[in-house]
Amino acid sequence: MEKNSLKFTKDLNQQHTKEIKVLFDLEKQIEKESLALFDQLQEYKENTRKYLKLKQELNSKIKEFGDLQNIQSVIERDLLEATLVMKKL
């Protein structure tokens, strides 16, 4: 009976050791994947920052282009008026 108890205890201990090893391995895998996820998030954050900067620059250029179109319209209108005045002379 005592021999069976010792064997049972030994087997149970080995089983627990295996299960604990599996848990530690899973913990290591989770940690590894967490670090990879963190790296991906940092890369995403940097890419998002670059995207927002480019978007802001694009909006600024579009505004400048619109301003140039307005200036061009004013100059064109002024030249047309000047041409009409010159024709009357």
Q: What's the Rg (C-alpha) of the chain?
A: 38
Q: What one-letter code names the amino acid at 17?
A: T
Take residue 60 and report the two structure tokens written for it: 């600024």
- Tell me the per-residue pLDDT of 21-63, one tens digit each, with 9 for 90 and over: 999 999 999 999 999 999 999 999 999 999 999 999 999 999 9
pTM of the predicted structure, to 2 decimals: 0.58
**Distance in angstroms (rounded) separating the CA atoms of residues 30 and 59:** 42
- Tell me the per-residue pLDDT of 11-21, one tens digit each, with 9 for 90 and over: 899 999 999 99
